[in-house]
Structures are given as structure tokens and as C-alpha cells.
A and B are shown apart, each in its own frame.
Chain A
Amino acid sequence: MTFASLGLAVAAVAGVAAPILIHFFLRRKHQPVEWAAMALLKRALERTARTRRFDQWILLVVRCILVLAAGLAIAGPLLRKSSEQEFAVQSQVRERAIVLDDGVAQQVVRGGTTAWEDARKRAIGVIDRCAPGDRVGILRGVGSRAMVWPPSGDLDAVRSELMLAEASLEGSDVVAAARSASEGGRDVIILSDFRAGSIGSDRSKESAPTTGRRAAAVLYEPQSDQPLNVQALAVETRSSGPLPSRDLHPLRVRLQRDGTSLPRSTSTIEVRTDGGPPSTLRLDWDAGQMLAQVDGTITASMGAQQTDLAVEAKIMESDGQPADNAVYGVVSGAGSIRVLLVDRALPEQSDKQEDTAATWMMRALTPVEGTDITVDATDPAALDAARLRGVRAVMLLRPDSMDAAGWNVLAQAVREGLVVWVFAPANRSITWSADFQRAFALGWVIDRARPKPGRAAADDPSDRRIEAGQTPSPLLSQLGAELDTLLQPVVVSESLSVRVPANTGEVVLSLSDGSPLLVHAQPTDCRGCVLLMSTAMVTDWTSLPTKPLMVPLVQEVLRQSLARVERATVERIGSTVNMPGAIALEPTLSLSASGLPEAKVIPLDADGKAAQPLQVPGVYRAVDARGRRIAWLVANVDLRSASVRPTSSGEVVTLFDRVDAIIPDPPTVERAIAAAPGVPVERGGETELPVAAALDGVSLAPWLFAAAILALLAESALARRASAGATSSALRGVEP
């Protein structure tokens, strides 16, 4: 039996205590009445003592029954053992669809088991109670994918399929799956905790077609608990100065907490790479703190050509949602930064003793021996993809000497993460600007500025200085308060005219006349970035190479730009990979956990597309036909899909066309709520479910009301029974 209002039923049972309490504790204080025939009265009391006591007990029992029957009748009792059993007792052969939520949100742990395991047990229970001849189909919540579809009458096979089913780390959308399952008017049983991650987006709701015949849906009541959950948001490169060891690599792990209460606690994060021992980081949470980050280093030996590290950061403490405790990333290996200097007059090849732009740049990049920056040089005409292997930044001092092929090579490298820093050539040529525009499509307008030959820059009163913005660019944030002091002595006497339309780039430094001096941009679909210095690194153009600003400016802009480079393509579990040029994805680091499939090589078709969505979190190498890595792919759990935030029955019902019953958890105490299709009752700003009899259940309310009325009549009769005696015949009145 179930109740439309379980609270009222409980109240009715509790209400039985009222007549008992009244009977024993609230006896009325009687008014005194003087009487003469006390002896008769006393004998009458003695004579009726047993009867009155018996009557009182009967009366008490009847009153308890009255309260209980009335309360239970109001609570809306329904004669149905359970929804699963109700399905089983139907004599008519029916076709039913089970939507089994196997999404990552179902990995939430409650009571020592996961919601997924509970849902699977319930699904087996539904099948066990099906009548012979019934047909059952099962759709997964993840992608509405078929587990058993179309519905099958071989219930043993369906049960076996369920027993073998494994959970997924993909995001699910039970609403879309229910709509798919209900096509054809099937009854749908949705087995889900209805956490926020399982409901899916509103878009799926709108796009899902509504069937002509609205299907009956039975939901289990959404879970209301929200366990404490610590999520690993990201592991990323951390910019730092030179480290004592070339094998140490700085990184940063960002975490987030969610839950009903956020106590003071400690999280231990194990960081693992594919090339070295794991290291452990600790984070102390303050009470109520939701976001935090922890910095550390990891030790890994890197080859000469290796620039990146695949990293896994995993929270070691168990929490309410273990599926989002690990995050993967590719961080920049800090062993060395290879910079390629592209200039026609390379320092060692130049016969002249004067300082060229390349000379100044070499001094800025390697001011002392033993730094982590390695500088190579090449002629613009010799620049090709091979020369760029292992190179993380290109300093292009002679863009005017680049041909179209060279620009194409650079453009391709920028797409894969190269940092290209272009300087204005000292010969004042701007012919290269067209190729520059074509290669990176930034929309900048580069023009020639009026030169001032033969004059010392500092002597010209019209020479411009560098303006320090009120808020320094993030690229220069490490220089902090010293930036103004460093900028002050720098004079720029000549520069190209560069106009940067809005939203096409960031002006890092500008001159006193407002024209940009240093511009940064990340071209569309590129993981690398492009920097443009509008003046040449020669003293005829600017005094910058000779000033103290030169070294920190070049070092900081280069390092911060490299830190910004996305080192890998990041995808969510459940998405379909598309990596043109690659033939396969090879797992480098991957999550291994019980219930999860082992990470395998994912083959890609000729267009670079995978046949199956990503299922196992980890770092994958996208390799081409020759087995070379052409890109990193990082697959992480979608944190929105993993959200275990609880939802209310009202929220859930609004997502469906029609909900016939919401079964509370545990299902042994059930109630049925029939909601008008798509039209929940709005009252006081909150959605309220109208209570009604179950569509297929037998309401016991009329019987209980009848019992209550009978009890009421019995109570009246019993209460007045004692006064029904006849007047003594000997006392018949004497007429006046």
C-alpha cells in the first residue's frame, strides 16, 4: 500500500495517541452536585463498575480506530504493493521501457554503494516482477544508447545484459532518453538519482519531440542529500623562475569543493607523470572555502626534444563523487626553453662589431651562462618544420626576409602551440605585413611611420616614451611595481604604425602618443600565440636594448606567453574526437578504476574522427601515419555532468511531459503523485505536485472513510448506551 501523502499517514498513526492521552491524562474535573440518595448511587456504581470499565476500553479503541481511519483516509491510501509489483500484476501483456541512468553523476556514493548499483538492482527488480510475455527494453541515460533495444520478451537475456552492464563516466541526459523510450506510448520507468548532472541541458528538452500519445512515466524520488565532493578542476603549467634542477617542473592544481557543509579539511593530491616518480601535494581547506589552488613541482627527466609532460592530479581522499577526483593535463616541461632566432645577420656570422638586433636579443635571452633558455639561430630562408621541432618560441627579427612558405610553416606551428614574436625590421620595410596578415588573420593594420634618421633618439624632444598602463598586462604582472621605474628611461624614436581593432589582440605596451608598441594575440583555432613589437631592436629606433628593461621584458613576456599556450586539445569524456591528420589516439596516462574499461588505442578514420566517444579519462597522443606525435589530447570528466547537486521532485517533473508516479526511496513506503502533463501547479512561487489517486492503483480512501464513519457511529452509541435505561415502573409519575 502507498499513500499520496506519507506525512499525513504518519500523522494519523501518531494521532492515535491523542485519544489515549485524553483518556488517561485529561480527565475532566467534575462540578460538585449535592445529592440525597447517595447509598443508591454508590450501589449503582458498584453494580456497573465492570461494565463501565469495559465500555471505556471499547470506547477508547473505537476512538483510536476513528482517528486512524480518518487520518489514513485523508492521506490518500492506494492499494499497490509497489510500482514494480503493480507492473507485474497486470494481466495484460505490456511493453515497458527502462531508462537506466549510467551517467557519471550516478557514481555518487551513498550508503556505501553507488547510485548506479542501486539503479541496476531496481532495474533487475522490475524485470523480476514482469509477467510472462511482457517485453522490456533498456536505454542508457548516456546518449540514449541502447542496452536492450527494441524491447525484448527474453527477460533472462535482459537480466543478463543488466548484470554485465558497466557504469560510464560520460554525462547522461535521462530526459532525452525517456523521450526516446516513450515513443510508441510505452510505459517508462526512469531509474536515476536525478542529480543535476543527470538531467542534461534544456536544449535536449526542447529538441526532443513529444509523442502524440503521452507516455506514462514512473520516477524514483530524486535524492535530496548532497555529499561533500572535492573536484579536481585542472592541472596546468605554472610560470616560475629558474629552478635548481632541470628535472623539476612547476605546476599548479586547482580544486573546488561542493556540498551541504564545507568543513575545515585537508586534501592530498598525488601528481603522476609518465616519466618520473609521483609527488604529493597537500592543501588545507578553510571552513566554507570552495575554491583553492596548490602549487608544486614534479620531477621528470625529459629528452632533448621533449617539451611537454602528461600529468595526472588525483585527490586521494574518498568523497561523495569519486569520478571527478582525477584531472589530466599537459604541462610545459621546464627543462629548457628552445628559442629560435630568425635573422639574416646572425651574431656569429656578422663581420661588423656593431650591435645588431640579434645581438641585443641574444643578450636578453641568455644574459648569463646556464639559464634554462637555449637559443638557436637560423636564416629566414632556411626556416622549415624540421627546424621548428622542439622549438617553443621563434623570435622573428627579419620578417621582411620571410617568404610565403616560411609564414605558412610558422602559422602551422602556432596552431600547434608555437610562440612567434615578430619585431619590426630595421630597414623599415612593411612588405611582409601582407604575408603576416595572411598567415595569422589577426586583422591588424601595419603601416610605415615617418623615420628620423641621423639624430640621437634621446635628443629629440618629440621622441616618445612608453606608457605604463594603470593595470599592467598579465604578461608583465611578474614585474609588479618595478615596471614603471624600468619603463621610464626608455625612449622610442621610431616605430611602425600598428592599429589593433577591438577584440583582435591585447596591447601589452603602448607609446605616449597612444600607438601600440607590443601587441599579443592568440589566433583563432591556435594553441600558440603571436607577439608584435612595432619598433626594431636597434638603437636607431629605440633605446630599449640598452636599458635595464630589456632583459626582464623579453624574459617575462616569453615565459608568460609560453605558459599561456595550450599544450593539448582538451575534450570531455563522452565527446567524439576529431583530429585531422591523426590516425590514432595512444593513451599515455589514463585512469584505471574498477568498473571502467581499460584505456586502449583509439583508431581514427581518414578525417581524424573516432568511431566511439571518449570513455576513459587520460592523456592521449595523437599520432600520424608515421607514428609521430602531432598533438596531445586530454580527456577529462565533464564536471557539470558529474555534479551531484540534488534536485527536487518539482524540478524533475517539469522536465517531463507527464509523470504518473514518483516512488519514494526506499520504495517499500510508496506514494503516488499524478501530475498534470507538463502543467505543474504553481503556488507561492514554488512548484507543487497535485496529489491524486494513482492512475492504476485502487484507492482505499472510501473504505477508510466508511470505517471512520462506522467508528463514529459506534462511538456515539457506546457513549450514550449507559443512559438508555428505562424508568422504573414503580416510579411512574403521579399526575397532578
Chain B
Amino acid sequence: MAETPTTPLRAEQYLAPETLAQLAPFELRAKRIAEGLMNGMHVSPRKGSATDFASHRQYVSGDSIRHVDWKVFARSDKLQVKQFQQETNLNVVVLVDGSASMQFGTLKTKSGWGGTKAQRGRIVWTKYDHATAIAAAISFLALRQRDQVGLGIFADGIRSGVRRSGSNDHWRSVVRCLAADPVESAVAWERVADQAVSQNPHHTLFIIISDFLAPPAVIQSALSRLGHRGHDVILVTVLDHAERTFNMDVDAAFVGLEGEPQLEVETRKIRAAYLAELEKHLNDMDRIARSFRFDLEVFDSHESVGPILSSLLARREAILRRRIRG
């Protein structure tokens, strides 16, 4: 049975993975993340009215005549449509990596915890668990702020998803979709990018949550498709603590989750080289992200989700201000 905390928790506490793992069912977990985060924010960027006037634009066929500014029509004999701030909210599409490599995790959880995948018979908190928790929380926050949120879970393509919407009950659809298990295949990045672009022709903020363990060139190629269409992208890299530190003292046969050949490894002897390779990979990813003016955040699945969500919200505000300015 899930354990529900009986005493109020600080935001940092219940945004920690151990806390998240105890928050079952899944919806409750996501709400707590978002509420905890909101409570931690002192000033909400969405305190004002959603109906404040922002600008005019020319009427096009299909526009509701309710928004036609008749006063302007009377003065200039032109049909202009009033635009309000509410209508400048973001289109947010969260893309969650559901490939086999996301099934990796080393944070042990107790029986009954909310981990989604058992690895070798043990309940563990996987990178996918962490990614879905982040995605659910982001979705919740975005919907609360009247953004339109879409979701896609990808691997060798976007396998499942939820169309973009801003309705109040849309969040439950997002959560149901996130509850699906990851698949056993690897990520086909370019295909996923093409699908995402085709499904979202308008300016969209893509939040891609993945471990990004593919070759940087492949990822760069995929991101270029998004960047060239003018989309904003935030890359959320989720890595397990063991992957980040490689602080193991075992001689083992490492088996790839995506079908890679087995490797005999003495961890002590290659730890330095592994960490160097990881650093190089992350540097490459950072360089790619900067080249497209994208943001990159590295996220440890054993650590709190709070900072990254705060970062995301700040990023969202920056995008909004940039658009309003024009």
C-alpha cells in the first residue's frame, strides 16, 4: 500500500524521488509536484486577467466574429480582430523518451512504492519513472496557467500521445498516457523529430525528456528539424546516479538494454575513462543545444525535480515576454 504523508511536507521534500515514489496513484504524485512547486513560488506570473487586450490583427475567414473590433471597423472600414493576452499562451508539447534505455535505474524502492518498472525482480526508480513524473508535473503546471499541452511518448517513433489541449480535464488524459510502460526499442531521433514537426506546425515549446544516449550527431540532426521551424526546445537529460558517477566497484558483464553486445568491464579500471566519455558527450550535447539556442538541463534521477521545474517555468516566462515584445 502506498504511504501517504501525515504531516505537511516542504516542497523540496516531496519533490525528491523518494517522496515521489511514495505518492501513488500517479495523479496524486503529479499534483503534489506541481502544488509543491507553486507553493514555493512567491510571485505567480499569471496573476493578471486572462482577458487583457494585447493587439489587433486582420480578420481571416473562420475567426469568431465575437472578437471583431467593431470600433476599428467603424473608423477604418477594416475587419480587425482583437487579441488578448490569454491567447498568447504557449503551446507546450512534452516528449518523453520511452525507449529501453530509460528502464535503467538504481534507486531501490520499497515494495509498494510507485516505481513503474521492475528491473531483475527488484522495484527500482527508473529514469522513465523520473521522466514521467517531470512530464506530468510540467503538464499540470502548464494547464493551470492555461497553456495548451500536448504529450508524446517516443522511441522508434512517437508511439503514443495526447493531442494539444488546454481543457481542465486534459491533464488526466496526459497522466493516463504517461502511465504506459516503456518499450524495448531504441530511439529513432530523426523520425521522432519529423513526426513532432508535422503534428505541431505552429510555434511550440518542445520539452524533450530523455537520456540522450544516442550519438550527438544523430540528436543534432533531429534537433535541427525543430530549430529550423522556429520551435523552442528544452532538452531535459535524465540520467541515473550510477550513470553519472560510475562509482561502482564490481567486475561485471554489462548487458545493453537496447540489444548492444555484452561487455566485460572492471569498473575500477575504466571509471575515469567512462566519466571522461560522459563529460565529452554532455559537452557535445550542450554545444548542440547552444547552437540552436535551446536549453539543456541534466537531471539526476536520484535527485529532486524542483530545480529543473523552476528552471522550466522561468524559461517559459522568458519565451512569453519575448513574444509579447514582439
Contacts and interface: CB of A to CB of B under 8 A. Distances in A.
Nearest to B249: A723
Nearest to A31: B252
Interface stretch (B1-9, B63-71, B173-181, B275-283): B275-283
Contacts of B269: 48, 52, 55, 721-723
A727 B245 contact: yes
A133 to B, nearest CB: 63
Contacts of B254: 32-35, 38, 41
A164 interface: no
B272 A725 contact: yes
A648 B173 CA distance: 96
Nearest to B307: A734
Interface stretch (B152-160, B196-204, B256-264): B256-264
A201 to B, nearest CB: 70
B273 A730 contact: no
Interface string B262-298: 1111111111111111110111001000000000001
Q: Pick the most buried of A30, A41, A45: most chain B CB atoms within 10 A of its CB.
A: A41
Q: Pick the most buried of B264, B271, B282: most chain A CB atoms within 10 A of its CB.
A: B271
Contacts of B16: 736
A625 interface: no
Given A39-B213, A52-B269, A32 B274 contact: no
A16 to B, nearest CB: 24
Given A30-B252, A33-B250, A35-B255, A722 B104 contact: no
Contact of B213 (A40, A44, A55): A40
B265 A36 contact: no
A31 B253 contact: yes
Given A52-B270, A729-B279, A35 B104 contact: yes
A724 B265 contact: no
A671 B37 CA distance: 82
Contacts of A454: none
A721 B268 CA distance: 8
Contacts of A720: 268
B226 to A, nearest CB: 23
Interface string A17-54: 00000000000101111111111111111011000100
Contacts of A30: 251-253, 264-265
A725 to B, nearest CB: 2
Contact of A44 (B120, B245, B270, B298): B270
Which bracket fits the contact residues of A?
35 or more
B276 A33 contact: no
Contacts of A729: 279
A726 interface: yes
Interface string B131-168: 00000000000000000000000000000000000000
Interface string B81-102: 0000000000000000000011
Contacts of B283: 730
Nearest to B252: A33
A386 interface: no
A37 B271 CA distance: 13
A32 B277 contact: no
Contacts of A731: 244-245, 275, 278-279, 282, 298
A595 interface: no
Interface in A684-736: 719-731, 733-736
A34 B100 CA distance: 11
A39 B264 CA distance: 14
Contacts of A32: 252-255, 262
Contact of A40 (B102, B252, B277): B277
Interface string A454-498: 000000000000000000000000000000000000000000000
B259 to A, nearest CB: 9
A55 B273 CA distance: 15
Given A34-B257, A734-B307, A726 B272 contact: yes
Nearest to B243: A37
A602 to B, nearest CB: 88
B256 A38 contact: yes
A227 to B, nearest CB: 59
Given A45-B265, A731-B278, A736-B304, A725 B273 contact: yes
B240 interface: yes
B186 to A, nearest CB: 11
B125 interface: no
A32 B253 CA distance: 4
A33 B245 contact: no
B184 interface: no
Given A33-B250, A38-B260, A731-B282, A722 B275 contact: no
Nearest to A52: B269
B190 interface: no
A30 B255 CA distance: 11
Contacts of A40: 213, 274, 277-278, 281
A734 B273 contact: no
Contacts of A52: 266, 269-270
Contacts of A724: 272
A324 B272 CA distance: 81
B215 interface: yes
Contacts of A736: 12, 15-16, 303-304, 306
A228 B158 CA distance: 96
A47 B16 CA distance: 36
Nearest to B285: A730
B300 interface: yes
A727 B243 CA distance: 11
Interface in A45-75: 45, 47-48, 52, 55
A733 B250 CA distance: 22
B211 interface: yes
A497 to B, nearest CB: 108
6 contacts: A32-B252, A36-B257, A37-B211, A41-B254, A731-B278, A736-B303
Given A41-B263, A734-B307, 12 more contacts: A32-B255, A33-B250, A34-B255, A34-B257, A35-B104, A36-B103, A37-B278, A722-B270, A730-B282, A730-B286, A733-B303, A735-B303
- Nearest 4 Cβ contacts at the A-B interface: A725-B272, A722-B269, A723-B268, A736-B304
